[in-house]
Amino acid sequence: MTSDATTPLPAAVLWDMDGTLVDTEPYWIRAEHELVAAHGGSWSHEQALELVGNPLTVSAELLQAAGVDLPVAGIVDHLLGKVRHQVDAEVPWRPGARELLAALGAAGVPCALVTMSYSVLADAVVAHVPGAFTTLVTGDQVSRGKPDPEPYLVAAARLGVAVGECVAIEDSPTGITSALAAGTRTLGVEAVLPVEPRPGLSRAKSLVDVDLDVVRRIAGGEVVDLLS
């Protein structure tokens, strides 16, 4: 099934950042391993994967439990600094992300960035795609982070659109839960974790496979599964 030009595009597209727009999850995981090791603790790859998509304060508390002898704010600042340093050297765009952003911009669809990373990192990333995002909702701007729906509800409110008329693009189970709970049509794109089937969830292996036609179909209520 394909859409046509009469099928409306969404009122907005709401993008996750880490793992969806940019391939920074390996940066976070490396920084976590190094920090725990420096404090004499133990940290596994499986534990690192459990932090994907979490609010940074939640991740920091789990790192404290693993042996990091720093306050939560200190852990957050350390991780942000490590990842920001690598992003400043080179932005690791996810395949197809900039192309889809450009197509949405050309079609007049506003985009918001909805991330649990803080403004210091999000600002550095979006500076490389000037004008692509109308607003940024970051982890230091909300009181309840993903998987709570608040970040996506805030993004829609800032854009002045109904959240149910938006399409969210996510990669992590935590982020997908947040977007679905907010009531937005949601596309899960695989990164470091598999995207398991859920009612109402569209899926794709890569944004390379996602164009305006796919976005139209999802906005229209179709569940598009490019993984099955």
Give yes or no on whether 12-23+93-226 and 25-89 have one common fold.
no
Output the pLDDT for position 5: 59
CA dihedral 138, 141, 142, 147 (to 10 degrees): 10
**What residue ranges do the domains of the chain occupy?**
12-23+93-226, 25-89
Taking the chain, what is the end-to-end CA distance rounded to the nearest angstrom?
A: 15
Contacts of 144 (CB under 8 A, 6+ apart): 150
- Among 16, 148, 211, 225, the one annotated catalytic: 16
Averaged confidence pLDDT in the chain: 93
Per-residue pLDDT of 28-80, as tens digits, reads 888 999 999 999 988 888 888 888 878 889 999 999 999 999 999 999 999 99
Per-residue pLDDT of 103-119, as tens digits, reads 999 999 999 999 999 99
- Among 18, 23, 88, 209, the one annotated catalytic: 18
Q: What percent of the chain has pLDDT over 90?
A: 80
Say if residue 128's pLDDT is above 60: yes
Output the pLDDT for position 22: 95
Per-residue pLDDT of 137-173, as tens digits, reads 999 999 999 999 999 999 999 999 999 999 999 999 9
Per-residue pLDDT of 168-209, as tens digits, reads 999 999 999 999 999 999 999 999 889 999 999 999 999 999
**150/170 Cα distance (integer angstroms):** 15
Q: Give this prediction's pTM.
A: 0.88
Say if residue 4's pLDDT is above 80: no
Indicate the residue type of 114: V
Query: ∠ at Cα 182 (102, 154), nearest 5°?
Result: 65
Say if residue 223's pLDDT is above 80: yes
Quickly count: other Cβ atoms within 10 Å of residue 130's Cβ. 7
Pairing of strands 111-114, 201-204: unpaired
**CATH dotted code for 12-23+93-226:** 3.40.50.1000
Verify whether residue 69 is a known catalytic residue.
no
Verify whether residue 16 is a known catalytic residue.
yes
Output the pLDDT for position 1: 45
**CATH dotted code for 25-89:** 1.10.150
Quickly count: other Cβ atoms within 10 Å of residue 143's Cβ. 7
